[in-house]
Amino acid sequence: MTAASPVITPRRAGVASRGSCSASAPGSRTGATTAVNTCPPGRRGTRAPASTQENAAEWSPVLTSPSASGNGFKVYVYPQQKGEKMSESYQNILSSIEGSRFHTPEPGQACLFVLSLDTLDRDGLSPQYVHSLRAKIQGLPPWNGGKNHIIFNLYSGTWPDYTEDLGFDIGLAMLAKASISTENFRPNFDVSIPLFSKDHPRTGGQRGYLKHNAIPPYRKYMLVFKGKRYLTGIGSDTRNALYHVHNSEDVVLLTTCKHGKDWQKHKDARCDRDNAEYDKYDYREMLYNSTFCLVPRGRRLGSFRFLEALQAACVPVMLSNGWELPFSEIIDWNTAAVIGDERLLLQIPSTVRSIHQDKILSLRQQTQFLWEAYFNSVEKIVLTTLEIIQDRVLRHTSRSNLMWNSLPGGLFTLPQYSTHLRDFPFYYAKLGIKPSPKFTAIIHVVTPLVSQSQPVMKLLVAVAKSQYCAQVIVLWNCDKPLPAKYRWPATSVPVIVIEGESKVDFALTVWQSFPDRIVGYPARSHFWDSNKERWGYTSKWTNDYSMVLTGAAIYHKYYHYLYTTYLPVSLKSMVDQMSNCEDILMNFLVSSVSKLPPIKVTQKKQYKETMMGQSSRASRWADPDHFAQRQTCMNKFASWFGTMPLVHSQMRLDPVLFKDQVSILRKKYRDIERL
């Protein structure tokens, strides 16, 4: 029996929508109740009020069917209709959804629906404007008055008023909208997104500009702005007054009158001087050399300048009264921006000068985190939007404020794994706790490395002897049959076999200090081959490394969950088919999350082929095809991530007294020197 599709409709916080059917969600761990749609067709929820301009109104989703909790939160994208034009930006949005773990090709499994009709630009004067959108949407059978739909929009309204009218009735659909006002924003229902340009990358995205913390954190300029003045009309008041605080020294606020075809008709006495000074400065140079960047409203409330300032580690100073800041539901913007008031423009210079350098450094660092976590690609903007809605739907597994506002961010902290901070490797320092001193050893027995069982048994006994070992899991994927039960050695810890010693102690001790990283022995590196214009993989012994092979490594179990649920099926299938590259993919994933390199311990540089028998084939590590596959994997993985997440390191950790000319009895990890 197929579960009914969930219905998400606006309602007052704490008040059930009239006419909706709801029940307590089973299995809620927090005791919270979730309304489950059990309404027959035609009775699902109620229509939103005709006017959404009730400032006191709080909205929350009326939730969900088993499809949202049993099969996961799924999103369906309508098939693209023939002859319908679509902007590159909207295509990037749809591609980001279709490439995500949320996507389903089956509308019956979906909790949320996304139109294939381009709704991004609703400015009637724009060449990207889609005409007759109202009729086209109403003709879609699943539209159902907009229930369970989300509409993405960047531009609405046109000259001279630039209202937020989209030109069609959105019904009960949610809005993911840029430049949305607090007056029209429906809390816990709509999502405020940033305004981004058509050149914004779909995946990957540019890294933040801040590479090193400067102490004190001041730059050449204290406060800058360069943009159009808007001589008349909406958005002109603040920009026309900027010259009052401009001093041509550390506060440089530049405007030009050259905007539109008839700007000279409205030209005033300051225009010639403003235009001349405007041309003397390079915008990018100002952006990257200023402590604060002014972000005033333009014709609309939002502007590209907001994201540009975040990327440049230039603390945004917001002057756009009534703008619902992007992702305000989850982001604490007071930790990354200065929220100003257009009516108090003259106080802005003294306000930013009064901010202590410690606070400036904190603000700047947070701009970089937010930029890379949620804003540097279309994919991250879209996924953040979907994660916010999923948290509303599945409130009992929603993320905490700390998860959203600290590394690695909400996109990499999946609440389906746990809602407790202590279960993730990122928050031990914040919580003042240390990770568990116990580990599970996974021994992967593969062909052709093993031709006899005895070396495996020796390895099993050696690992099980570790004081930190909790259990051993043997993954038997060998061309030899599984040894009889009586041939397995007795150990003090459980040994689980799944068919289809001192160095360990030291690695575990190191990992406890770096629980968000991979800690292990054999290391490898990546490089950019400029001749072939592709990434390369090398096992040569060099002065740095960027990967630690997981065949002999320790990492947090949460990364296994991320590997299984976050990565796309295409990458995991490729790894399974080749029986290769799973270690590279894990390194990509962990470095993408932590933004840090792995940690190598001891001098061990390669695997010892101790399990090779006389009749065994050559090691796969010496197989040129195996090595070529790993080169291919590097570029496939980099393409999916949209960037190269691996980070080089020149650090290796060895025990104190390692290789020192002292008695072996004085050394804690005595066997390591024999590696």
pLDDT tens-digit profile of 160-170?
A: 778 888 989 99
Tell me: pLDDT of 121 over 90.
Answer: yes
The answer to whether 421 and 402 have CB atoms below 8 angstroms apart is yes
| pLDDT score for 614 | 43
Helix (H, G, I), strand (E, B) or coil at 295: strand
Q: For the domain bounded by 439-653, which CATH number is listed?
A: 3.90.550.10
Lowest-confidence segment of 13-17, 184-188, 521-525, 629-633 by average pLDDT: 13-17
The percentage of residues in the chain with a pLDDT greater than 70, rounded to a whole number, is 82
* Cβ-Cβ contacts under 8 Å for 373 (sequence gap 6 or more): 380, 407, 408, 409, 410, 411
pLDDT tens-digit profile of 220-241?
A: 999 999 999 887 778 788 899 9
Higher pLDDT pick, 620 / 154: 154
Mean local confidence (pLDDT), 141-151: 92
| pLDDT score for 81 | 85
Tell me: pLDDT of 333 over 90.
Answer: yes
Quickly state the pLDDT bin for 674 (edges 50, 70, 90): low
Quickly state the pLDDT bin for 476 (edges 50, 70, 90): confident
| pLDDT score for 252 | 97
Tell me: pLDDT of 372 over 90.
Answer: yes
Distance CA 113, CA 136 (A): 16
Quickly state the pLDDT bin for 672 (edges 50, 70, 90): low
Distance CA 618, CA 58 (A): 67
Lowest-confidence segment of 70-79, 407-416, 604-613 by average pLDDT: 604-613
Quickly state the pLDDT bin for 18 (edges 50, 70, 90): very low
Higher pLDDT pick, 411 / 481: 411
Enzyme catalytic residues: 583
Higher pLDDT pick, 606 / 455: 455
Tell me: pLDDT of 455 over 50.
Answer: yes
| pLDDT score for 604 | 62
Distance CA 119, CA 169 (A): 12
Q: Cis omega before residue 515 (within 30°)?
A: no
In 3D space, the residue among 246, 240, 210 whose CA is nearest the CA of residue 228 turns out to be: 240
Helix (H, G, I), strand (E, B) or coil at 638: helix
For the purposes of burial, counting CB atoms within 10 Å of the CB of 498, is it exposed (0-12), middle (13-18) or buried (19 or more)?
exposed
Q: Cis omega before residue 597 (within 30°)?
A: no
Mean local confidence (pLDDT), 391-402: 92
Block residue for tokens 């740095």: 544
Domain boundaries, the chain: 1-204+377-395, 221-371, 439-653
Q: Which two tokens stand for residue 77?
A: 């994208």
Distance CA 586, CA 422 (A): 22
pLDDT tens-digit profile of 65-91?
A: 444 445 679 999 999 988 888 999 999
CATH class of 221-371: alpha beta
pTM for the whole structure: 0.83
Cβ neighbour number for residue 119 with a 10 Å cutoff = 25
Mean local confidence (pLDDT), 472-484: 79
Tell me: pLDDT of 432 over 90.
Answer: yes
Tell me: pLDDT of 134 over 80.
Answer: yes
Block residue for tokens 């779909």: 202
| pLDDT score for 656 | 72
| pLDDT score for 12 | 38
Question: Average per-residue pLDDT in the chain?
Answer: 83
Q: Which helix (H) or strand (E) holds 290?
A: strand 290-296
Question: Bridge partners of 536?
Answer: 527
Mean local confidence (pLDDT), 259-263: 76
pLDDT tens-digit profile of 545-602?
A: 999 999 888 999 999 999 999 999 999 999 999 989 999 999 999 999 999 999 998 8
Tell me: pLDDT of 510 over 50.
Answer: yes
* Cβ-Cβ contacts under 8 Å for 516 (sequence gap 6 or more): 408, 425, 426, 556, 590, 593, 594, 596
Helix (H, G, I), strand (E, B) or coil at 315: strand
3-state per-residue secondary structure call for 148-190: CEEEEECEECCCCCCCCCCCCCCCCCEEEECCCECCCCCCCCC
Mean local confidence (pLDDT), 414-436: 92
Mean local confidence (pLDDT), 334-354: 97
Quickly state the pLDDT bin for 126 (edges 50, 70, 90): confident
Helix (H, G, I), strand (E, B) or coil at 139: coil
Higher pLDDT pick, 653 / 64: 653
Lowest-confidence segment of 53-57, 182-186, 331-335, 497-501 by average pLDDT: 53-57
Tell me: pLDDT of 38 over 70.
Answer: no
Quickly state the pLDDT bin for 159 (edges 50, 70, 90): confident
